[in-house]
Chain A
């Protein structure tokens, strides 16, 4: 049972949590002042501590530092008592199991911090073994430079011990480095400690500064988690120490751990400014879904076009010009780094309209490889009577011709100099001469079906929306059945669908994979809290549309936790209910 820790917001593996002491603390945070160590059993026998609500009590422990042999860990393992105050259990990353405490303290912490792969392995091991709504505490390691990466990996609680010790050694810490105090002609900070004149600045002041810098960095981290933008920060900040960049990349290789925790939609924009962006879960997941779930339902030719800075693409100047030339006679697919390919139906779907990239016209080999791989897989799955590439030279054409060769396709290139010059646009129109235009209804039906494919699974669009009508204007398409009953609405901000109760029923009855949350015998209003969840599908992600069903209620809403988290957690909002009815 976790009584004293709750996760409020998630950004990948990072969480904005609340340590629910008598005076609550928003995490990730320093907890030096509220942690009460009941002591080590190596040095003495310990009474069961009294504990209280103002402190997180670390239960009596036998901590195993890095290098402790498995036999020793096994034979000296401690049984943690069940207590009713906020408590933490000390565990080693190699042997960890659910101890029923609110928090877990990693004993071999000094052996894993400083090594990317070791850190990631340790954090993933612990996080996968303990309930999601428990806090992970790494003591004695946080610095202003490493704390963002540690939080990103899934650590919630820290202390200033390391920063303090460094200060006593005359090591001045910043979010980008570590300086010998004596080497600093001026202090690169203006925290209260650093307002001391340089010549009067002592090592005690340095301790104070280090703590301030750590606090400030944690505030940045919390802000970034709230905004869903910690990764964007990290791709820049982690560059200041090689092992931090290594840790970020190692975590990208922990696909299951990271994917499960990454929401399917966000308000925040993805900043695509480094090569590492290509390995983000959001990017990889999109590429995967667009090449394994999405299917093209148009019989028109394919026109490949470059992306635009303005999102959604259809609202940009260039795409309006393409549209004028195409006149609904072709299926439009935009090529872009770092997203890959974006079929017109998915132009609003996260993250297709939620990224911003650095535009120089120079493509790196990694980018070319990634986009051509996605394009190849896309074209293997989707057949077109004709392929027109209306793309400029820089990178794009390279990519198309690579795939053209690989798949032995025949591609018509229509850009003379620039995609929007008169000649090129005329070529584009000519290439489609004689082709019929598809109708608005077909376009709208295919759009909601494509979104259903993308969100729910391969074939879902057909299973769910075989016979529908659509009303209202794109992008706020409303989906109705033959009797005009509304089933769902397209959500233009994220390119998702929100179902009505009727839509949810149809979803449940269809062959499309359902994301279902099973609840206890109550009728939820507003939100479903985790304790009310009996079971939940494992593939539910934050932001997913979910059917909520129990003995007394049937409803539909949006997931605020991922599936396993809903089941494991004893606190927090599992999902927000949009519609519900009593059974």
Chain B
């Protein structure tokens, strides 16, 4: 008998294929960006281990993710948000920070205690953000309470984190783990590291006196709704069990342009998850020893997580409410006829008939 489950990832074959396809898809995008402007900046509120805090979120344009240049993750369209030439200078990065500070000054009464910096790559990768720039940014925000910086686990290093912790900042590394299931991360997401690497990064962060915020992805391509739900529940439980990982942000996939997910979606081969699935997972994992939040992007649209359209805003509101209060009873307040459809999808959707509904 031939082996029914060849571990294609081990052979590197699956990854090669994903990367080849993703490179081709990404190459169709031709836009480029001004290196002196951040990709995005906004003000919000976030649940932290010290309670709900006002936050300034910065998506720094660092030239994009290195992994994405090789091909990268099947659902990620941020990659293309890169600059001509591939890298961004120290001066340009600090210009971006200035733009963000101006935005904050214009739109908020006082500085936010929480600063979150994402790069669509790794803030701690010195090929994206050099040591000098990192130090300058840490200095800029030294008077705040807490910093969150995004990074792949490989780049999490206690000395780099010391730039922040030594300045008295509560520091968290945001790691795009996507799922605790290696098989799904490798084959469906096309992310190259293992859960063990995430555990090591948490250990490294802890050693620096920092914490970790794990980012999970609900429903990568090729998974059914019920598989996606089960994958998230077990992932949240496993992440919460890792010392140092005090917060988990579980986010439903949205269909971004120039991605493999978009190709599937275009051919009726993919549907973003139901918001009921998000609510269900949050409710099921409410008692884990970590803050679990979710921030669905594009809720209620065809390309974003959605239910029947009628109830999307209500369920989204309940999810945001849960983010701040961590109280699963918020979901008792919402109901809709389409829950029966969602349940039928959980029961009947298979790999070979998905997506069973739009």
Q: Does B70 contact A (CB under 8 A)?
A: no
Q: A42-B227, A75-B8, A79-B6 are in contact. Are A110 and B183 (CB under 8 A)?
A: no
Q: Is the CB of A76 within 8 A of B350?
A: no
Q: Is the CB of A67 within 8 A of B265?
A: yes
Number of interface residues of B (CB under 8 A): 53
Q: Is the CB of A43 within 8 A of B223?
A: yes
Q: Does A288 contact B (CB under 8 A)?
A: no
Q: A72-B21, A75-B8, A75-B13 are in contact. Are A106 and B352 (CB under 8 A)?
A: yes
Q: Is the CB of A45 within 8 A of B183?
A: yes
Contacts of A42 in B (CB 8 A): 183-184, 187-188, 222-223, 227, 351
Q: Does A528 contact B (CB under 8 A)?
A: no
Partner of B356, one of A61, A78, A165: A165
Contacts of B270 in A (CB 8 A): 65, 67
Contacts of A139 in B (CB 8 A): 350, 352-353
CB A453 to nearest CB in B, in angstroms, measures: 48
Q: What would 18 A/B residue contacts be, using CB atoms closer than 8 Å?
A: A42-B184, A43-B181, A43-B184, A61-B351, A65-B270, A66-B264, A72-B21, A72-B260, A75-B14, A76-B8, A76-B17, A81-B4, A105-B352, A110-B353, A139-B350, A140-B348, A161-B349, A168-B341
CB A84 to nearest CB in B, in angstroms, measures: 11
Per the bound structure, the CA–CA distance linking A75 and B267 in Å amounts to 20
Contacts of B20 in A (CB 8 A): 71
Q: Is the CB of A65 within 8 A of B4?
A: no
Q: Is the CB of A108 within 8 A of B353?
A: no
Partner of B340, one of A61, A71, A78, A203: A203
Query: Which of B181, B221, B352, B357: most chain A CB closer than 10 A?
Result: B352
CB A170 to nearest CB in B, in angstroms, measures: 7
Q: Is the CB of A68 within 8 A of B269?
A: yes
Contacts of A45 in B (CB 8 A): 5, 183
Interface string of B323-351 (1 = CB under 8 A from A): 00000000000000110110111001111
Contacts of A109 in B (CB 8 A): 352-353
Q: Does A432 contact B (CB under 8 A)?
A: no
B356: nearest chain-A partner, CB-CB:
A140
A169: nearest chain-B partner, CB-CB:
B341
A residues 88-102 in Cβ contact with B at 8 Å:
90
Per the bound structure, the CA–CA distance linking A110 and B348 in Å amounts to 14
Partner of A66, one of B3, B21, B267: B267
Q: Does B246 contact A (CB under 8 A)?
A: no
Per the bound structure, the CA–CA distance linking A63 and B4 in Å amounts to 14
Q: A37-B350, A74-B17 are in contact. Are A46 and B4 (CB under 8 A)?
A: yes
Q: A67-B265, A165-B345 are in contact. Are A78 and B4 (CB under 8 A)?
A: yes
Q: Does B231 contact A (CB under 8 A)?
A: yes
Per the bound structure, the CA–CA distance linking A257 and B184 in Å amounts to 40
CB A520 to nearest CB in B, in angstroms, measures: 29
Contacts of B268 in A (CB 8 A): 65-67, 110-111, 114
Per the bound structure, the CA–CA distance linking A170 and B183 in Å amounts to 38
Q: A63-B354, A80-B4, A139-B350 are in contact. Are A43 and B183 (CB under 8 A)?
A: yes
Q: Is the CB of B352 within 8 A of A161?
A: no
Q: Is the CB of A58 within 8 A of B352?
A: yes
Q: Is the CB of B357 within 8 A of A165?
A: yes
CB B268 to nearest CB in A, in angstroms, measures: 4
Query: Which of B8, B341, B344, B350: most chain A CB closer than 10 A?
Result: B350
B19: nearest chain-A partner, CB-CB:
A71
B345: nearest chain-A partner, CB-CB:
A165
Q: Is the CB of B224 within 8 A of A65?
A: no
Per the bound structure, the CA–CA distance linking A169 and B13 in Å amounts to 42
Per the bound structure, the CA–CA distance linking A78 and B270 in Å amounts to 21
Q: A42-B222, A76-B187 are in contact. Are A65 and B1 (CB under 8 A)?
A: no
Per the bound structure, the CA–CA distance linking A106 and B337 in Å amounts to 31
B260: nearest chain-A partner, CB-CB:
A69
Per the bound structure, the CA–CA distance linking A48 and B350 in Å amounts to 18
Interface string of A107-130 (1 = CB under 8 A from B): 111110010000000000000000
Interface string of B217-248 (1 = CB under 8 A from A): 00001111001001100000000000000000
Contacts of B350 in A (CB 8 A): 37, 40, 58, 63, 139-140
CB A248 to nearest CB in B, in angstroms, measures: 21
Number of interface residues of A (CB under 8 A): 53
Partner of A67, one of B188, B267, B308: B267
Q: Is the CB of A63 within 8 A of B351?
A: yes
Q: Does A41 contact B (CB under 8 A)?
A: yes
Per the bound structure, the CA–CA distance linking A62 and B184 in Å amounts to 12
Per the bound structure, the CA–CA distance linking A204 and B14 in Å amounts to 43
Contacts of A162 in B (CB 8 A): 356
CB B312 to nearest CB in A, in angstroms, measures: 15
Per the bound structure, the CA–CA distance linking A44 and B344 in Å amounts to 22
Q: Does B355 contact A (CB under 8 A)?
A: yes
Q: Does B18 contact A (CB under 8 A)?
A: yes
Closest 10 CB pairs of A and B: A140-B353, A67-B267, A65-B269, A63-B351, A66-B267, A75-B17, A139-B353, A66-B269, A161-B348, A40-B351
Contacts of A495 in B (CB 8 A): none
A82: nearest chain-B partner, CB-CB:
B1
B224: nearest chain-A partner, CB-CB:
A40
Contacts of B222 in A (CB 8 A): 40, 42, 62-63, 65
Per the bound structure, the CA–CA distance linking A79 and B345 in Å amounts to 28
Partner of B5, one of A41, A69, A107: A41
CB B266 to nearest CB in A, in angstroms, measures: 6
Contacts of B265 in A (CB 8 A): 67
Contacts of B341 in A (CB 8 A): 165, 168-169
Q: Is the CB of B269 within 8 A of A108?
A: yes
Q: Is the CB of A170 within 8 A of B5?
A: no
Q: Is the CB of A68 within 8 A of B264?
A: yes
Q: Is the CB of A44 within 8 A of B183?
A: yes
Q: Is the CB of A81 within 8 A of B231?
A: no
Per the bound structure, the CA–CA distance linking A140 and B225 in Å amounts to 14
Per the bound structure, the CA–CA distance linking A207 and B8 in Å amounts to 41
B15: nearest chain-A partner, CB-CB:
A75
Q: Does B199 contact A (CB under 8 A)?
A: no
Q: A68-B269, A76-B8 are in contact. Are A164 and B344 (CB under 8 A)?
A: yes
B12: nearest chain-A partner, CB-CB:
A75
Q: Is the CB of A168 within 8 A of B352?
A: no
Q: Is the CB of B269 within 8 A of A169?
A: no
Contacts of A58 in B (CB 8 A): 350, 352
Q: A82-B1, A111-B267 are in contact. Are A69 and B348 (CB under 8 A)?
A: no
CB B309 to nearest CB in A, in angstroms, measures: 12
Q: Does B145 contact A (CB under 8 A)?
A: no
Q: Is the CB of A161 within 8 A of B269?
A: no
Per the bound structure, the CA–CA distance linking A203 and B336 in Å amounts to 13
Q: Does B46 contact A (CB under 8 A)?
A: no
Q: Does B263 contact A (CB under 8 A)?
A: yes
Q: Is the CB of A46 within 8 A of B5?
A: yes
Q: Does A326 contact B (CB under 8 A)?
A: no
Query: Which of B260, B308, B341, B353: most chain A CB closer than 10 A?
Result: B353
CB A421 to nearest CB in B, in angstroms, measures: 62
Contacts of A90 in B (CB 8 A): 351-352
Contacts of B18 in A (CB 8 A): 72
CB B28 to nearest CB in A, in angstroms, measures: 13
Q: Is the CB of A65 within 8 A of B267?
A: yes
B25: nearest chain-A partner, CB-CB:
A69
Q: Does A218 contact B (CB under 8 A)?
A: no
CB B40 to nearest CB in A, in angstroms, measures: 28
Q: Is the CB of A71 within 8 A of B187?
A: no
Q: A41-B5, A63-B222, A75-B16 are in contact. Are A165 and B348 (CB under 8 A)?
A: yes
CB A34 to nearest CB in B, in angstroms, measures: 15
Contacts of B14 in A (CB 8 A): 72, 75-76
Per the bound structure, the CA–CA distance linking A72 and B5 in Å amounts to 16
B11: nearest chain-A partner, CB-CB:
A75
A40: nearest chain-B partner, CB-CB:
B351
Q: Does A60 contact B (CB under 8 A)?
A: yes
CB A44 to nearest CB in B, in angstroms, measures: 7
Known: A67-B269, A111-B268. 20 other contacts (CB 8 A): A43-B183, A61-B352, A65-B221, A66-B269, A67-B264, A68-B263, A68-B264, A69-B260, A71-B17, A74-B17, A78-B6, A80-B2, A114-B268, A139-B352, A140-B352, A168-B338, A169-B338, A169-B341, A170-B337, A204-B340
